[in-house]
Amino acid sequence: MKTIKKLLIANRGEIALRIMRTAHEMGIRTVAVYENEDRNALYVQEANESYFLPHGFLDQDTLIGICSAAQVDAIHPGYGFLSENSAFVRRVEQAGLIFVGPPASAMDRMGEKTAARSEARAAKVPLLPGSEIDDATKLSDAERIALVRETGLPVVLKAAAGGGGKAQAIIEQESEIPLAFEKVIREAERLYHSKSLVVERYLVKARHVEVQVLGNAAGKNFALFDRDCSAQRNNQKIIEEAPAPDLPAEVRSALHSSAIRLADHVGYRNAGTMEYLYDAARSEFYFLEMNTRLQVEHTVTEMITGLDLVREQLLIAQGAATDYASVSAQGHAIQARICAEKSDGSYLPSTGLINGYTAPQNVRIDSGVAAGSVVSGKYDNMLAKVIVHAPTREAAIQDLQVKLSEFIISGIHTNIPLLRKLLEDESFRKVLHYTRYLQREFVPPQSDAKTAAAAAAILLYELERQKTREVLGSLAEFTNSGIK
């Protein structure tokens, strides 16, 4: 068994701080890395040592160099940045360091959507109709149209190397195909330096459910129950809960079995998440992708299981013998992501100085900011995560509403009003929401009469469009309207 005495966290903000606190509880010293914007950040202050990154968090050479200079034993990547970069994993291991995460080989097989679909197919995990495209730039317009027709509208087009809702587009009409392809190809090349895309059948009212996988050092994988992440804005999750509510017992069991089967198939170890789309009308689920890292929403799994997943990650990385067969789920947990943005449905980011920050008491809050922190537009705009646990879903919702009402953040806009209204929403309460619910049906809090009228008009249009589809079917797509 290897021992981790000093850990470098190749990340920032709330996740860096969260990993540090577990490491310190385990007697492990921590090293923070930072850019100019984070010189005075909380996570930098919390670390035992800190080093400047002149070229950013993606600079592998500097990170490996710091590990050598600081005599570090291991690197934890958090999420984002280099967390799913198999080349980085190999460099870490070649330097004689421990990478706190899955093997590079498993990351290669599951880290890209095209490869993951192939592995899921081989492991007999349900897939939506679709295709993988190695180089989308080589397809002619006619070939792109034929591919979409073969899959069947509506479809989602997405970067094979992407995640978090980036570099993707939903195509509902054939007229949207050319622009959608150009948009996603351009974003895929810019963000991931990749031309590989996936075109996949889009479920109009699908829920997003996922299974937390944890593979021990011996290579045995366990399903640590499930989560629902259907409350999303612009393909980004804002409320997550565990266990996933209103799932038939046989569906839940099949989900867990498929996740373990696929993890075993690719030789997975450490923490990961199998993500699925769930069609409640048919009680069917389909594999979406795997996140070969710790998830933002790992907290709700921790709350229902009593496990510290970062602690388990560190134990597994050291080769400790761990077993999770006896872990049980208790109660219900919900997490809300507090983001620096407007709540009026525009989701416009908000930047500037946080001149006031008061957090509620007696609740778990994972945050990386405080009064005096500066929010720039350079990084993800999540400020904090509020996580509650209660005996029932209803009690958890009620508790989260109270805690959000006690939060005071001044100097910038936040999405707290939107979160509170969503928690009150009847469809959310009845688990009738779905991944596109906020865009199609939900009316966000309005800051003025003009934006309220605009939101109401958009909602009315979407409702009328859905009714027309129900009556006319595919004929409803033949329209001269320029509204999308």
DSSP string, 442-480: -----SSHHHHHHHHHHHHHHHHHHHHHHHHGGGGG---
| pLDDT for position 455 | 47
| Catalytic residue chosen out of the listed positions 293, 337, 420, 436 | 293
Gap between the Cα atoms of 255 and 362, Å rounded = 34
- Domain locations in the chain as residue ranges: 6-100, 129-201, 207-440, 452-484
| pLDDT for position 477 | 38
Q: Domain 207-440: give its CATH superfamily.
A: ATP-grasp fold, B domain (3.30.470.20)
Single pTM value for the model:
0.84
389, two tokens: 């646990």
Tens of pLDDT, residue by residue over 151-169, are: 999 999 999 887 667 899 9
Alpha-carbon separation of residue 252 from 223, 276, 279, 335, 455 (angstroms): 11, 12, 13, 21, 36
**Residues, the chain:** 484
- Whether residue 295 contacts residue 268, with contact meaning beta carbons closer than 8 Å, is answered with no
Catalytic annotation present for 465: no
For the purposes of burial, counting CB atoms within 10 Å of the CB of 39, is it exposed (0-12), middle (13-18) or buried (19 or more)?
A: exposed
| pLDDT for position 139 | 95
Domain 129-201 grouped into CATH 3.30.1490.20 = yes
Give the CATH number of domain 6-100.
3.40.50.20
Longest CA–CA separation in the chain, Å: 68
- Whether residue 232 contacts residue 464, with contact meaning beta carbons closer than 8 Å, is answered with no
160, two tokens: 């094979």
Tens of pLDDT, residue by residue over 357-392, are: 999 999 999 999 999 999 998 898 999 999 999 999
Gap between the Cα atoms of 248 and 232, Å rounded = 23
Residues of the chain scoring pLDDT < 70: 163-164, 447-484
Dihedral sign computed on CA atoms, order 256, 257, 259, 264: positive
